[in-house]
Amino acid sequence: MSEQKPSHDVKGIVRRVPRQDCVEAQIWGRVPKNAALKVPKNTVASIILKWKKFGITKTLPRACFLAKLSNQGRRALVREVIKNPMVTLTELQSFSVEMGEPSRRTTISAALYQSSLFGRVDRCMHLLSKRYITACLEFAKRHLKTLRP
Protein backbone atom coordinates (compact mmCIF):
# COMPACT_ATOMS: atom_id res chain seq x y z
CA MET A 1 0.00 0.00 0.00
CA SER A 2 1.26 3.48 -0.78
CA GLU A 3 1.97 5.91 2.02
CA GLN A 4 -0.65 8.64 2.30
CA LYS A 5 -0.36 12.10 3.86
CA PRO A 6 -2.60 12.68 6.88
CA SER A 7 -5.58 14.92 6.32
CA HIS A 8 -6.69 17.58 8.79
CA ASP A 9 -9.89 17.47 10.72
CA VAL A 10 -12.09 20.51 11.28
CA LYS A 11 -10.69 20.97 14.79
CA GLY A 12 -7.11 20.88 13.49
CA ILE A 13 -6.39 17.40 14.82
CA VAL A 14 -4.38 15.31 12.37
CA ARG A 15 -6.04 12.00 11.54
CA ARG A 16 -5.31 9.20 9.12
CA VAL A 17 -6.49 9.40 5.55
CA PRO A 18 -9.79 7.57 5.12
CA ARG A 19 -8.36 5.68 2.14
CA GLN A 20 -6.13 3.62 4.39
CA ASP A 21 -8.94 2.92 6.84
CA CYS A 22 -11.34 1.89 4.05
CA VAL A 23 -8.85 -0.52 2.53
CA GLU A 24 -7.84 -2.02 5.88
CA ALA A 25 -11.48 -2.58 6.81
CA GLN A 26 -12.09 -4.22 3.43
CA ILE A 27 -9.03 -6.49 3.85
CA TRP A 28 -10.16 -7.66 7.29
CA GLY A 29 -13.66 -8.36 6.02
CA ARG A 30 -15.34 -5.54 7.90
CA VAL A 31 -17.67 -3.06 6.29
CA PRO A 32 -16.08 0.42 6.55
CA LYS A 33 -18.40 2.81 8.35
CA ASN A 34 -18.55 6.21 6.71
CA ALA A 35 -19.72 7.87 9.95
CA ALA A 36 -16.63 6.67 11.80
CA LEU A 37 -14.38 7.83 8.95
CA LYS A 38 -16.21 11.18 8.67
CA VAL A 39 -16.49 10.92 4.88
CA PRO A 40 -19.53 10.47 2.62
CA LYS A 41 -20.75 6.98 1.73
CA ASN A 42 -20.03 7.54 -1.98
CA THR A 43 -16.39 8.34 -1.19
CA VAL A 44 -15.96 5.10 0.76
CA ALA A 45 -17.55 3.14 -2.09
CA SER A 46 -15.34 4.77 -4.74
CA ILE A 47 -12.19 4.18 -2.67
CA ILE A 48 -13.00 0.47 -2.29
CA LEU A 49 -13.89 0.17 -5.98
CA LYS A 50 -10.62 1.80 -7.02
CA TRP A 51 -8.65 -0.46 -4.66
CA LYS A 52 -10.34 -3.59 -6.03
CA LYS A 53 -9.75 -2.52 -9.63
CA PHE A 54 -6.18 -1.15 -9.50
CA GLY A 55 -4.84 -2.46 -6.19
CA ILE A 56 -3.87 1.07 -5.15
CA THR A 57 -5.74 4.04 -3.74
CA LYS A 58 -3.39 6.74 -4.99
CA THR A 59 -4.70 8.96 -7.78
CA LEU A 60 -3.32 7.66 -11.06
CA PRO A 61 -2.58 9.82 -14.12
CA ARG A 62 -5.16 9.86 -16.87
CA ALA A 63 -4.44 7.66 -19.83
CA CYS A 64 -5.64 9.98 -22.60
CA PHE A 65 -3.41 13.00 -21.93
CA LEU A 66 0.24 12.04 -21.89
CA ALA A 67 2.87 14.48 -20.75
CA LYS A 68 4.35 16.38 -23.68
CA LEU A 69 7.77 16.42 -22.04
CA SER A 70 9.06 13.62 -19.85
CA ASN A 71 10.54 14.49 -16.47
CA GLN A 72 13.98 13.55 -17.75
CA GLY A 73 13.63 15.86 -20.76
CA ARG A 74 12.30 18.67 -18.58
CA ARG A 75 15.29 18.37 -16.22
CA ALA A 76 17.69 18.32 -19.18
CA LEU A 77 16.19 21.55 -20.53
CA VAL A 78 16.43 23.21 -17.11
CA ARG A 79 20.09 22.13 -16.83
CA GLU A 80 20.78 23.57 -20.30
CA VAL A 81 19.16 26.89 -19.40
CA ILE A 82 21.03 27.13 -16.10
CA LYS A 83 24.28 26.36 -17.91
CA ASN A 84 23.63 29.00 -20.58
CA PRO A 85 21.03 31.62 -19.51
CA MET A 86 21.16 33.41 -22.88
CA VAL A 87 19.91 30.37 -24.83
CA THR A 88 16.76 30.95 -26.91
CA LEU A 89 13.65 28.82 -27.29
CA THR A 90 14.61 27.88 -30.84
CA GLU A 91 17.96 26.55 -29.65
CA LEU A 92 16.23 24.67 -26.84
CA GLN A 93 13.80 23.22 -29.36
CA SER A 94 16.66 21.86 -31.48
CA PHE A 95 18.25 20.54 -28.27
CA SER A 96 15.04 18.68 -27.40
CA VAL A 97 14.93 17.17 -30.91
CA GLU A 98 18.50 15.92 -30.42
CA MET A 99 17.38 14.33 -27.13
CA GLY A 100 14.62 12.51 -29.00
CA GLU A 101 11.70 14.46 -27.55
CA PRO A 102 10.52 16.91 -30.21
CA SER A 103 8.24 19.56 -28.73
CA ARG A 104 6.94 23.02 -29.52
CA ARG A 105 8.43 26.26 -28.30
CA THR A 106 5.34 26.98 -26.18
CA THR A 107 5.67 23.60 -24.45
CA ILE A 108 9.32 24.29 -23.63
CA SER A 109 8.45 27.79 -22.44
CA ALA A 110 5.70 26.43 -20.16
CA ALA A 111 8.03 23.77 -18.74
CA LEU A 112 10.68 26.38 -17.98
CA TYR A 113 8.06 28.71 -16.49
CA GLN A 114 7.14 25.99 -13.98
CA SER A 115 10.80 25.92 -12.95
CA SER A 116 10.81 29.73 -12.50
CA LEU A 117 12.96 30.35 -15.59
CA PHE A 118 11.46 33.15 -17.65
CA GLY A 119 12.17 35.12 -20.83
CA ARG A 120 13.61 32.82 -23.50
CA VAL A 121 13.16 35.18 -26.43
CA ASP A 122 15.82 36.66 -28.73
CA ARG A 123 16.96 40.01 -27.46
CA CYS A 124 15.89 42.68 -29.91
CA MET A 125 18.64 45.28 -30.39
CA HIS A 126 17.49 48.06 -32.66
CA LEU A 127 19.97 49.33 -35.23
CA LEU A 128 21.28 52.72 -34.23
CA SER A 129 21.02 55.38 -36.91
CA LYS A 130 23.92 57.81 -37.52
CA ARG A 131 21.72 60.71 -36.54
CA TYR A 132 20.90 59.09 -33.16
CA ILE A 133 24.58 58.28 -32.49
CA THR A 134 25.71 61.86 -33.25
CA ALA A 135 22.94 63.28 -31.04
CA CYS A 136 24.06 61.03 -28.15
CA LEU A 137 27.69 62.08 -28.58
CA GLU A 138 26.78 65.78 -28.67
CA PHE A 139 24.70 65.36 -25.51
CA ALA A 140 27.59 63.61 -23.77
CA LYS A 141 30.10 66.32 -24.82
CA ARG A 142 27.74 69.05 -23.73
CA HIS A 143 27.16 67.53 -20.29
CA LEU A 144 30.73 66.37 -19.73
CA LYS A 145 31.70 69.74 -18.33
CA THR A 146 28.80 69.76 -15.84
CA LEU A 147 29.72 66.33 -14.49
CA ARG A 148 33.37 67.18 -13.78
CA PRO A 149 34.06 69.00 -10.47
% of the chain with per-residue pLDDT over 70: 68
Nearest to 79 by CA among 120, 112, 40: 112
Residue 35, phi then psi, degrees to nearest 5: -70, -40
Cβ atoms of 38 and 66 closer than 8 Å: no
Section 52-74 average pLDDT: 76
Look at residue 102 in the predicted model and tell me its pLDDT.
Answer: 86
Cα–Cα distance, 136 to 132 (Å, whole number): 6
Cβ atoms of 95 and 106 closer than 8 Å: no
Range scoring the smallest mean pLDDT among 5-19, 56-70, 120-134? 5-19
Section 41-57 average pLDDT: 80
Q: Give the predicted TM-score (pTM) of the model.
A: 0.41
pLDDT grade, residue 9 (50/70/90)?
Answer: very low
Cβ atoms of 4 and 57 closer than 8 Å: yes
Asked whether the predicted pLDDT for residue 105 surpasses 50, the reply is: yes
Look at residue 64 in the predicted model and tell me its pLDDT.
Answer: 61
